[in-house]
Amino acid sequence: MPNPSLPNDQRPVDATIGGIGEIAALRRILPRLSSGDAALLGPGDDAAVVAASDGRFVVTTDLLVHGPDFRLAWSTPFELGWKAAATNLTDVAAMGARPTALVVAIAAPPASSPALLEGIADGLREALAALAPGAGVVGGDLSASDVLTIAVTAFGDLEGRAPVLRSGARAGDVIAHAGTRGDAARGLALLFAEATDAAGEPDANLAAALRERRPDLVRAQLAPSPPVRAGVIAATAGATSMLDVSDGLARDARRVAEASGVDLDFSSEALGGDPDVVRWALAGGEDHGMLATFPAGTEIPAPFERIGRVVAGGGRILLDGREAGADGWDPYSGWDGRAG
């Protein structure tokens, strides 16, 4: 059994991805994955074939890069695979589509253990089973890189429905949200505050202790469980607009407001009442909840809850009728106005 305490250049050659090569690595990954119900032709050829029942498909893509998006000292390979699936499934669901398939490309340092790829594959499989039953991984690619990078492309089936866009909100609509608000950002803030060493570097042992103390918030950041099924529920109930809240409720809501030419007015009481809770709810990102608007008089379907209303305007975010900031996550600058 390989000794993980040995430096990479002293490990047996078959203990690294570079040592076993791409073909052997794929042989370890593919049996751990399912192609899903929509795959007419899964991995094994130059491309997969995926069914699209009404002749259309929804497609999106996302990257997870070591450094700006995750730290190996904090995240397990399983959690990386889980989060890579979750963050893409919600983008498909936010269009009102049912996720059907993922294509996953991984670029990893050749000195990495094959267990890294196996763990990522396990996380992908389990996230799909839990969040989008019937969806699967139909293909992908492996490459070498100095920086671990996971790229996922997700596909979805509209099943005859019109896509739900960001541009459909109208004055008088109800604003509703499904999922947690601010937990992932609070988890990340705790990791930076309590799971870094004296030099400010991520520390695995400190992260393990934090997991014991606040497993809910750490899990919300490292392996979120967003309400993927809520996308189809909202579309079926007549949602006029919708999007996945990945960069913070306020920042993402502004995208709806600008696309629709309206203002979105949130209720502080509906967001929790306490100023600190409201601040986290508005500015915290990566919960991957669903923000949707529904026509007035619509029975808001579970798991959504009312958190505000759409009013006439031109792209502003309001809180109790007063203009509020649109702080949140930016991949180039981090969090603007981090709550705490």
State the binding site for substrate. Answer: 69, 286, 329
Give dist(CA 69, CA 66) in Å, integer: 6
Do the beta carbons of residue 206 and residue 71 sit within 8 Å?
A: no
Torsion 188-190-195-197 (CA) sign: positive
Give dist(CA 259, CA 144) in Å, integer: 39
Do the beta carbons of residue 328 and residue 279 sit within 8 Å?
A: no
Give dist(CA 229, CA 128) in Å, integer: 12
CA dihedral 137→142→148→149, nearest 10 degrees, is -50
Enumerate the known binding-site residues: 46, 60-62, 69, 91, 140-141, 166, 244, 246-247, 286, 329
CA dihedral 251→257→263→266, nearest 10 degrees, is -40
Enumerate the known binding-site residues for Mg(2+): 46, 60-62, 91, 141, 244, 247
Give dist(CA 158, CA 167) in Å, integer: 18
Q: Which two tokens stand for residue 238?
A: 């007549």
Enumerate the known binding-site residues for ATP: 140-141, 166, 246
Neighbour tally for 231: CB within 10 Å: 32
140: nearest Cα among 127, 131, 153, 128: 153
Neighbour tally for 63: CB within 10 Å: 14
